[in-house]
């Protein structure tokens, strides 16, 4: 049987979080019912955003701009990597990974709802030639996480739009 002290210690974190204004993110609510995504066919960010929007209530991704209330125009969707540190012998020791998305949101009539916006995330990845295979999978995981983060940022911006 739990003691009073155990109950108090168990509820204390919940009370502290409630007092600071913390709350879990709920479902996104959008001011539009249909959206056209302007990503290239093999865009992983586009695929992830499509999945996120499919899970949102009352929003449908359409393939034609004439059927959409809003159009997400993608201006740039790119992942890049560059050597950012090397040894005196010229061996790469650190790689910078960058995920970049430039976009804007327009109504079907062409009115700009979100002006041109650029989201850029970068991560440093230490590199060692002897661990090349492990570093390759670590790089893939970092890029996947950066894409998810960018999609979350886009979803928050889309939810803030008012028609």
CATH number at residue 151: 3.30.160.150
Tokens (6 digits) for 89: 């012998």
Selected residue with higher pLDDT from 138 and 21: 138
- The SS3 call for residue 110 is coil
Domain-located, residue 6? no
Q: Across the strands, what pairs with 106?
A: 71, 112
> Quick check: is 32 in a domain?
yes
pLDDT at residue 161 tops 90: yes
Please determine, for residue 129, whether its predicted confidence score (pLDDT) is greater than 90: no
Residue 105 above 90 pLDDT?
yes
Task: Tell me if 8 is assigned to some domain.
Answer: no
* Strand arrangement of the beta sheet that strand 92-107 belongs to: 60-62, 34-37, 70-86, 92-107, 112-126
Rounded to the nearest angstrom, the gap between the alpha carbon of residue 72 and the centroid of all alpha carbons in its chain is 15
Total domains present in the chain:
1
**What pLDDT sits at residue 9?**
67
Question: What was the pLDDT predicted at 92?
Answer: 73
Give me the pLDDT at residue 2, please: 62
pLDDT tens column, 7-24: 656 765 665 666 565 555
Q: Is residue 143 part of a domain?
A: yes
Q: Is residue 14 part of a domain?
A: no
Beta strands in the chain (DSSP E): 34-37, 60-62, 70-86, 92-107, 112-126
Q: pTM of the prediction? A: 0.78
127 occurs within a structural domain: yes
Residue 10 lies in a domain: no
Domain housing 106: 25-160
Q: Is position 71 within any domain?
A: yes
Q: From CA 77, how far away is CA 79, in angstroms rounded?
A: 7
Q: What is the DSSP string of 21-39?
A: T---------S-SEEEE--
């Amino acid at each position: 049987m739990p003691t009073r002290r155990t109950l108090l210690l168990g509820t204390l974190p919940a009370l502290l979080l409630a007092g600071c204004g913390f709350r879990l993110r709920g479902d996104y609510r959008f001011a539009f019912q249909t959206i056209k995504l302007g990503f290239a066919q093999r865009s992983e960010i586009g695929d992830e955003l499509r999945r996120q929007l499919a899970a949102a209530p009352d929003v449908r991704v359409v393939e034609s701009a004439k059927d959409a209330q809003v159009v997400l125009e993608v201006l740039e969707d790119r992942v890049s990597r560059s050597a950012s540190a090397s040894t005196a012998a010229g061996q790469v020791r650190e790689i910078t990974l960058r995920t970049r998305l430039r976009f804007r949101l327009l109504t079907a009539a062409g009115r700009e709802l979100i002006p041109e916006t650029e989201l850029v995330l970068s991560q440093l990845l230490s590199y060692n030639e002897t661990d090349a295979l492990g570093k390759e999978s670590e790089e893939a995981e970092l890029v996947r996480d950066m894409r998810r983060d960018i999609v979350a940022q886009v979803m928050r911006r889309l939810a803030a739009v008012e028609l």
